[in-house]
Amino acid sequence: MNIGCIGLGKMGEALAYRACMAGHTVWAFDEDEKKTKAVMQHGAKPCNSIEQLMAECSIIWLMVPAGKIVDDVLHQLYPYLEDGMTIVDGGNSNYKDTIRRSEELESINVNFIDCGTSGGVSGREKGFSLMIGGKEEVYKSLIGLFHAFAAPNGFCYIGPSGSGHYVKMVHNGVEYALLQSYAEGMHLLHDGYFKDLNLTEIAQVWQNGSAIRSWIGELLQEVLAAKPDFENIPGGIGENSTGAWTQEEGKERNVKTPMLDEALAIRSWSRETGGNISTKLVALLRKRFGGHQLLEK
């Protein structure tokens, strides 16, 4: 399959890499020329401009930050779009924006697929989890590409336009609460009744047979094994908009989300105060799975 990749950050580079390894032809573009040249080592073909990329591809995968930049990139593509082309937004766009974009592109006979993409930096080697929305017949035409990107059994068709990003939004809301829960447990063990507990060994035991074993638990064990110096780690937790969007959706649908509400409040508090051991662990976990940089102290 011939595919154009726009946006070659951590996730975009990983997707380009996996597509190349699966035998697809990848045309790559990023405003940072160094990132464009870097993917050549995987066999991707670098493009110096969007015009050059569009001349080669009828399937375009966007991996750019959510928000206005998606519309900006789409407007750059408009002069080169032709009937039957397909654009996939693999970022964390708001599902309402996705529905609007889909309708705009459908009016000029261009397909638009939304693909919620989860897996962080480890997805490069292990494969990603893909939540896909849009026209089902277009989804079916791209299954070979989804197989290249996804972990085994790691993708599915969700429903109409916006539904993939909607499910990924809720996924991220769940993630916020899970991270906070694990981190608070370790904070209590660190400062609790019994002193000098071996948290790394506890995390390892929790990962083998316990009811709360998970990938986050595995990453927690790795973070603790590195023996972090909590005194010198900034405790502010960064975030994107997906957690707040999930919270807003809960209010709109009259679905209570107290765990997410508290996790968001704690993140805000952590950025104001520098946080505590639990927020430092969440920040370290975010860096481990997503490559998110620690905030300045």
In a domain, 121, yes or no: yes
Q: Is residue 30 situated within a structural domain?
A: yes
d(CA 234, CA 92): 26
Q: What is the pLDDT of residue 58?
A: 96
Angle between helices 163-191 and 258-273 (to 10 degrees): 60
Distances (CA, A) of 219 to 8, 113, 284: 25, 31, 9
Q: Looking at residue 109, what is its pLDDT? A: 98
Look at residue 198 in the predicted model and tell me its pLDDT: 97
Q: Could you tell me which of 44, 39, 146 has the C-alpha nearest to residue 90?
A: 146
248 is catalytic: no
223-243 confidence digits (pLDDT tens):
999 999 999 999 999 999 999
Local confidence band at 32 (pLDDT 50, 70, 90 cut-offs): very high
Dist. CA 131–CA 88, nearest whole Å = 12
Share of the chain above pLDDT 90, in %: 99
- Is 297 inside a domain boundary? no
pLDDT of residue 94 exceeding 90, the answer is yes
- Closest CA relative to residue 88, chosen from 207, 187, 5: 5
Q: Residue 48: which pLDDT band, with cuts at 50, 70 and 90?
A: very high
Cα 135 to chain centroid, rounded: 22
User: Are 249 and 127 in a shared domain?
Assistant: no
Same domain assignment for residues 152 and 182 = no
How far apart CA 255 and CA 159 sit, in angstroms, is 21
**Domain termination site, one of 128, 161, 194:** 161
Report the pLDDT averaged over residues 203-211: 98
- Among 175, 184, 249, 280, the active-site one is 175
Q: What is the mean pLDDT of residues 270-293?
A: 96
Same structural domain, 155 and 198:
no
User: At which of 107, 133, 161 does a domain end?
Assistant: 161
Of the listed 168, 184, 249, 280, which one is catalytic? 168
Are 67 and 176 in a shared domain? Answer: no
Domain end residue (candidates: 144, 161, 178): 161
Picking from 184, 171, 168, the residue whose alpha carbon sits closest to that of residue 263 is 184
Whether residue 258 is predicted with pLDDT greater than 90 in this model: the reply is: yes
Q: Which of 101, 96, 172, 102 is nearest to 131 (CA)?
A: 172
Q: Is residue 133 within 8 Å of 166, Cβ to Cβ?
A: yes
Stretch 193-202: mean pLDDT: 96
Does residue 296 sit within a domain? no
Asked whether residue 149 falls in the same domain as residue 239, the answer is: no
Summarised one tens digit per residue, pLDDT across range 158-185 is 999 999 999 999 999 999 999 999 999 9
- 296 has pLDDT over 90: no
- 7 and 134 belong to one structural domain: yes
Predicted TM-score (pTM) of this structure: 0.95
pLDDT in tens, 262-277: 999 999 999 999 999 9
222 is catalytic: no
> Residues 6 or more apart from 131 whose CB is under 8 A from it?
115, 116, 117, 118, 155, 156, 158, 164, 165, 167, 168, 171
295 within some domain = no
Q: What is the mean pLDDT of residues 286-297?
A: 91
Per the CB < 8 A criterion, the answer to whether 91 and 70 are in contact is yes
For residue 291, what pLDDT is reported?
A: 92
- Domain co-membership, 137 together with 193: no
Q: How confident is the model at residue 246 (pLDDT cuts 50, 70, 90)?
A: very high
